Structure 1
Amino acid sequence: MSAVNDTKFSSAVFLLTGIPGQEDVHLWISILFCLVYVISIVGNSVILFIVKTDPSLHEPMYIFLSMLAITDLALSIATMPTTLGIFLFNSREIGLDACFAQLFFIHSLSFIESSVLLLMAFDRFVAICNPLRYASILTLPRIGKMGLVFVLRGVSLIFPLPFLLKRFQYCRANVLSHCYCLHQDVIKMACADITVNYIYGFFLIVTVVGLDPLFIFLSYVMILKTVLKVMSNVEFLRALNTCVSHLCAVLLFYAPRIGLGLIHGYWKTSPRLLNLFLGYISLFVPPLMNPIVYSVKSQHLSARIIRISLRGSSDMEDEKHGPPLPYWTGTSKMT
């Protein structure tokens, strides 16, 4: 179906975009995407399996990591049908309702992942700045409640978007910029007053994309102040080393999304390939890299992954390694 111009339609389709000008090699590119999906799904599933089956990992740090893995799994599944449909079968059409449903899941899961990264920053803040009360503050029931609150926040904030979009008729070219649906992309196709959507979109940016990174930044400011005051050089490096994987996850998550938001909002003449590149990075790279980064940086996870690979079973004995030590320092007490 060709692009529709200057014709009103309330029940039609959008056309998704792969990589313009590279349609003849889409089948080969699909191999890369299939590999990305396989690694993302297997990597996050392995983390969930290890944390679930190893009682010694039933601690706040690994519970938050499990939340991140679940979110990344869901995000991969939400983008998989349209992405592989385009690159494998050149299936570009997507109905309005299906598009609205996909953007709901993509945006709500992105907000939930932002919340999980904030919780992980809070976990590090409490562990380093108030270690004696760590176990009493981050109890399992409290962690469950915090997780539930942030899931409800992500879902409730995005829930109005499909209904706001459903009100409109779409009369402009119906070709979207990515191989999946985004609110900021779809809203450009509407032939109506979209002021409400822009205001609500700005509200979402302020309440989530603005506040979450700000609180993460403030938590690290407090962490730096603490470690500089009370720790030796060795403990300082050891404490900061435990934050490296989280910082990588934060950068991988926020940097491309902020860049993509700025392009959609302000840089109308940006190169199309840059727009596509940031779009692919923002949704495909975090689920791919998060399990890799955390597995490499966590000796407990990497040891159990190697053990599973060598034994081919789920035997998670800790006879030699024992339960994990507090991850903010090499000892059980901060000096």
Structure 2
Amino acid sequence: MNEIPKQEVIRFPASRIIDVAKALSGDVRIRILEALGDQPMSVGQLAEALGVAQPTVSINVQMLEQAELVSSTLGANREKICSVNCRQILLDLPTRPGDGLHRIETIEMPIGLYADCSVQPTCGMAAADGSLIGSADDPRAFFMPERIEAQLLWFSNDGWVEYLFANPLPPGAELAELRISAELCSEAPSFRMNWLSDITLSINGHSIGTWTSPADYGDRKGKLTPERWRSGSEYGQLIEWHISSSGSFIGGKRSTDTTLAQLGLSFNEPIAVRFAVLPDAINCNGMNLFGSSFGDHPQSIKLSFVRQAQDEE
């Protein structure tokens, strides 16, 4: 086995404290570090030494790898060989609000966890296996408990879904930018490749910008869409809005003059994110919203908080 040289000390910045603390908080992970103290071992050897199932060892090794406390290489028989990276760690404690967070903190919201909605037929929701949640074209399905399992939701004409996000930044932490991304497209019966729809994002009631979807995409199978799904809409486009002190943008192009300061963000208040097709939209042709197991992109709705870089403050 080729042992990876150990550093005597690894210094972690304040933004890594939570990652390292989580990695060190489990009994199995501490026992793995103990076992790896003198020599590298394979996952199978660790499982035998610790008397723990191999899948459990693999999961815990992965957590230690993510915290950069353990590294792995492939052995001669393609087995995973694990080694500790250092003898000691040094943690920099935070000295001001936000230091204990990553520069970019991201919250991913399942599409079925909306706080409120207004939809009309054609409308509906599908689960990860492609089965319908409730009945198609029945708005009541949008208020069933099973909606939390949704991986695709759609409505025609005008309507909206609104999500409430927590603000992870403590008071005093300087925010440079908000980013919101989701996979979306228009909604037509079955599908239509030439079917414009104006989809507007708003935050706390302020318009961030309108993206015009060119189609309800169904010309091919979505990369993640289950085979069972045979109802038309297959995938969308991954669209990102971002808001800074200079305005709001869609895909890097200016969309509105709404700035971060105008959003009225507060540490103790939820952030209302609404995807809507407005009644007065030029192209009022509904919306499909895709979750992490449907469409082309393995994500749900992502809201990212980008802190001001230290040298910019």
In terms of fraction of residues, the more helix-rich structure is 1
Bigger relative CO (Cα 8 Å, ≥ 6 apart): 1
**TM-score, structure 2 as length reference:** 0.23
- Higher alpha-carbon Rg: 2
Taking structure 1 as the reference length, what is the TM-score of the superposition?
0.21
Bigger proportion of residues as strand: 2
